[in-house]
Structure 1
């Protein structure tokens, strides 16, 4: 069965397709479904309802937490977290689990993470692993970056779609991974420092490296 890859925008979709075009075996089905957790959940669920897949990957570019995922690196998520799903209180952030309303995190299969990580490292991809945070508002200040790092120790990357894709995958009983390449540091919003073309090329390289890996 094929892999389903969900991206936010066409540029990410095209990078994934460009990387997997070198595969000698059939590549993944790749869809750009829009930015944010709602669009990604709806798009992934619609695709899963139409097709038969044994893995869903949310792929794209994102912000890396300094010291854990430098610009130009690739992050493979060990868990996918809705970073701001909960309540703000006088004592700090309370995740939705503590409110009794659901879950804010999905754990990736550690064996799958290990196998895919080994394939990427074997191809020379600079790889970090750790939690991937899903936000609806991209971080733009040092204070907010520090707050997220405090709430979610070890977080490696910030994106906008992972939790939506993970929610859809869980509903259909399909394993899910999040893979992002780093275009900028999480923190003060400095567009001049962003390396989006480099991150897209890294995304293509990461998918080229997955030829023959046990992801499908």
Structure 2
């Protein structure tokens, strides 16, 4: 994967898309789309683009919530894995991941070569698992439970696993990059730093030109 000429970047919303494009400054190697919020929208829109032409890499980029003590507001996160943290079944003994049910996988590893390049380009970034959730965490109890269940998790968002699943279906390498706008836990919109996280996405977008 030395020479990458066609890279698909999937964000959730237009604000994220515009922030990333600002950093890319029109670099023709990158196609950026706003795939919509949630796993299903991200998977379907990513698959639609991959069905049009060949891409060398899929990047899911956007803002997200950071786990306290691991990825604070303003941090940039590089995913090692995209994990569908609520994909499975509830039992009397607690949550059971889909692997234990024999129905598939709840995680996709990010491409190791891309991960290494991103780490070199963004040396201050936090590296760890990014959880994909259909319901964003809104309580300290859920935040603590997720942190205990997924000790390598540094961030939560809503799209990464979907984009990763589409990339896997088309045998295209995948990676995920997030900037942190808020802590995982009780929702306090007044304390969120969305504009600052968008600035972080622009800075990350600029780094991509150097990475590839």
Q: Whole-Å Cα distance in 1 between the matches of residues 149 and 87 of structure 2?
A: 12
Name the CA shift for 1:212/1:26 in 2 (closer, same or farther; >3 Å).
Answer: farther
Kept in 2: contact 1:79–1:105 (CA 8 A): yes
- TM-score scaled by length of structure 2: 0.95
Q: Whole-Å Cα distance in 1 between the matches of residues 209 and 76 of structure 2?
A: 17
Q: Whole-Å Cα distance in 2 between the matches of residues 192 and 209 of structure 1?
A: 29
* C-alpha deviation, 1:3, in angstroms: 0.4
Is 1:20 the equivalent of 2:24? yes
- SS of the residue aligned with 1:212? helix
Q: Whole-Å Cα distance in 2 between the matches of residues 110 and 165 of structure 1?
A: 17
The match for 2:198 among 181, 197, 200 is 200
The match for 2:144 among 143, 146, 149 is 146
Count matched residues: 208
CA deviation vs aligned residue, 1:162-199 (integer Å, no higher than 9, x gap): 00000000000000001000000000111111000000
Q: Whole-Å Cα distance in 2 between the matches of residues 150 and 98 of structure 1?
A: 18
- Over aligned residue pairs, what C-alpha RMSD do you find? 1.1
Which structure 1 residue ranges, 4+ long, deviate > 3 Å from structure 2? Answer: none
* C-alpha deviation, 1:26, in angstroms: 2.6
Kept in 2: contact 1:130–1:155 (CA 8 A): yes
- TM-score scaled by length of structure 1: 0.94
- Structure 2 residue runs of 5 or longer lacking an equivalent are none
Q: Whole-Å Cα distance in 1 between the matches of residues 15 and 53 of structure 2?
A: 23
The match for 1:63 among 62, 65, 74 is 65
Kept in 2: contact 1:37–1:160 (CA 8 A): yes
Q: Whole-Å Cα distance in 1 between the matches of residues 199 and 29 of structure 2?
A: 18
Match of 2:174 in 1: 176
Q: Whole-Å Cα distance in 1 between the matches of residues 145 and 154 of structure 2?
A: 14
Match of 2:88 in 1: 86
